[in-house]
Structure 1
């Protein structure tokens, strides 16, 4: 049964281009289908959706439909027939378990129009405070969705969606500006403004949600928890790179705290283990033996190796191993990461350490083009050099050479 035939809205005044862009932005989030399925599984609701809600329109961007509600991505409803309209006005969740018995909603037009008994809608608000839409679920039968635990789960996932949309939008904006060769100062101010909204608070909520899911015995929850962890790691890395970039450009380079590191072998080996966990499809072989104390900032050296490894795993051939080496010799610490792939054209080798630069052939879902720039700044702050070589036959190798004493 199609429940929405009689209430599909007339064409909206919002531009079709803007609506299509919003639907595409949600569609790029690979975790969304799994997330909507999880919400239906855990609540018993038959229809879950991410909706773009403006002052005048309600548009479905992604759906999980188990009750033949009849509204897919791109479908629109008359905004004022929805409770998302009211949720947007008050910027708070709305939820009820049994409309016909609820004193507030038993006479409300929305459950009557759509023949609903249970309903939940939570705002999706970007870190900058702008309203994207709602994460919502409905069902013609009663269901327990108004309890604090369920509302908090919806809220945490709505925050995750808002954060990921903001990061993706920031990347697209930066990429477009770089392509148009706009001023670096303007880009820096834009990203500092994004960071000024304290993206780490919603990121912490997402990480907490992932840990709660990981404790559940269901395999599907375990998989979703790992996806959330992976997204959290990626978002945290993006934020770290942006903050390092801002510090480097506004100050005199990336700050380091030099001390004598006597167990750099263990620190670098831990980074390799983290990379193996984050990229299970790749084989990473390491030869790490740092025999002498090194005057360095250990967390920054770990960051250097982590960025190089992430770059190698993202661009390398999954059928070939990534090779990691860290050795001390003749007063120098040499760290190298090699991967097999198509090679980097000579003209691109001159650009790879520039901020925001990414090759035209770069895979979707990569970073902001700051990782190698941050690596070069870390090496520079240690008085060393970072070089790259690349051939089709030999693969691509990044080598950092740092003095072990200062």
Structure 2
């Protein structure tokens, strides 16, 4: 996008706080636009992102005065929402040419940047307040040791945010770029020779890349929300059956990795009060882990059952035993397996464990001989 800005948006002002301008739009930091002439005012009012790939073909915005006023055809804006629900402003971008912006990975990435900016703003606010508390008047209330603890806590928050920011940039720079490159290369081959005998193989590769990207985006967004927003949130519901979610994940994995055999035993006879999408993500992470580290010549075994007031989901794969050192760090963030060829954030098992905890359940791993089993267990009425 040719122009990107972080804007402080209120009911009567639009102020540019940070900007990158590659199209000579002419707006500098501190510059203002009339808020009613911007689409950001609508983003603020609705509290939702707005995405326009091409104004000329967009039913909602093709007659909107803003694109003509500022000379853009593509637009994306996400609200910067503080933890108390207040919308501080927006992260917005425009370009004079049409852009394919409505892809899920792009929208999710843009929204996550908005969340990171909100977290950084609140972190600075807390830091400023704590620094003020160390002023002369507060010295009478706090001992030297207490003031040191406050400062150390603030520094720890800063360090955590910096680590998350670096990790997120790493995802964009490497982990998402690689599958995108694979998709691009595969599509080029298909376009050149649509009747190629390699088409099924190429399509399978594209499906794997798309699934990997979707998993990365889901995990990094949940990680950011969990770390910066006070914990992972779920929406439990027992009205819809859980079995179709488990079966859908298995179907997607089988389609993407047809060389891996998956044996299943699904017997969910009772309603499970859970967040179905999160349980699907947990299961997808466990099954993806089994694909990555298991012996592809031996079947992966999946069981999902309800009994004695609990729902139990287990994934077993064959392969080298998990070392004691790896077992100790298995569910910590940024930890990956001991194979140097493995890619990814090292967040899959951590996010799975957080989802388990949010449901009042447990996620445990056992490794004996050539078998490793990950078992998730939760009460039916979490």
Q: Give TM class, smaller chain.
A: 0.5 to 0.7
Matched, 1:189 2:193: no
Task: Give the aligned CA root-mean-square deviation in angstroms.
Answer: 3.5
Structure 1 residue matching 2:339: 3-state secondary structure: coil
Q: Structure 1: give runs of 5+ residues left out of the alignment.
A: 1-151, 153-159, 164-181
1:237 positional shift: 1.5
Task: Answer yes or no: is the 8 Å Cα contact 1:315–1:363 preserved in 2.
Answer: no
The aligned residue for residue 367 of structure 1 is: 344
Distance verdict in 2 for CA 1:384–1:207, change over 3 Å: farther
Matched, 1:398 2:378: no
C-alpha distance in structure 2 between counterparts of 1:195 and 1:231, whole Å: 14
Structure 1 residue matching 2:314: 3-state secondary structure: strand
- Report matched runs for 1:7-406 at 5 Å: 183-192=159-168, 210=187, 213=190, 216-359=194-337, 361-393=338-370, 395-406=371-382
Matched positions, count:
224
C-alpha distance in structure 2 between counterparts of 1:227 and 1:276, whole Å: 12
- TM-score of the pair, normalised by structure 1: 0.49
The aligned residue for residue 15 of structure 1 is: none
1:195 positional shift: 7.6
Structure 2 residue matching 1:338: 3-state secondary structure: strand
Task: Answer yes or no: is the 8 Å Cα contact 2:180–2:209 preserved in 1.
Answer: no
Runs of 4+ with >4 A deviation: 192-197, 202-212
Structure 2 residue matching 1:354: 3-state secondary structure: coil
The aligned residue for residue 36 of structure 1 is: none
C-alpha distance in structure 2 between counterparts of 1:388 and 1:352, whole Å: 8
Structure 2 residue matching 1:296: 3-state secondary structure: coil
Distance verdict in 2 for CA 1:343–1:188, change over 3 Å: same
Distance verdict in 2 for CA 1:281–1:380, change over 3 Å: same
Distance verdict in 2 for CA 1:255–1:195, change over 3 Å: farther
Alpha-carbon displacement from aligned partner over 1:214-267 (angstroms, at most 9, x marks no partner): 893222344333323322221221122111111111012222111114421122
Task: Answer yes or no: is the 8 Å Cα contact 1:268–1:302 preserved in 2.
Answer: yes
C-alpha distance in structure 2 between counterparts of 1:204 and 1:264, whole Å: 35
C-alpha distance in structure 1 between counterparts of 2:183 and 2:322, whole Å: 36
1:208 positional shift: 12
C-alpha distance in structure 2 between counterparts of 1:389 and 1:223, whole Å: 35
C-alpha distance in structure 1 between counterparts of 2:229 and 2:216, whole Å: 20
1:354 positional shift: 0.4
Distance verdict in 2 for CA 1:327–1:299, change over 3 Å: same
Structure 1 residue matching 2:198: 3-state secondary structure: helix
1:211 positional shift: 11
C-alpha distance in structure 1 between counterparts of 2:233 and 2:300, whole Å: 29
Distance verdict in 2 for CA 1:247–1:356, change over 3 Å: same
C-alpha distance in structure 2 between counterparts of 1:278 and 1:289, whole Å: 25
C-alpha distance in structure 2 between counterparts of 1:204 and 1:263, whole Å: 37
Task: Answer yes or no: is the 8 Å Cα contact 2:171–2:345 preserved in 1.
Answer: no
Task: Answer yes or no: is the 8 Å Cα contact 1:351–1:357 preserved in 2.
Answer: yes
C-alpha distance in structure 2 between counterparts of 1:194 and 1:363, whole Å: 17
1:309 positional shift: 0.4
C-alpha distance in structure 2 between counterparts of 1:190 and 1:343, whole Å: 32
Alpha-carbon displacement from aligned partner over 1:109-157 (angstroms, at most 9, x marks no partner): xxxxxxxxxxxxxxxxxxxxxxxxxxxxxxxxxxxxxxxxxxx9xxxxx
Task: Answer yes or no: is the 8 Å Cα contact 1:213–1:222 preserved in 2.
Answer: no
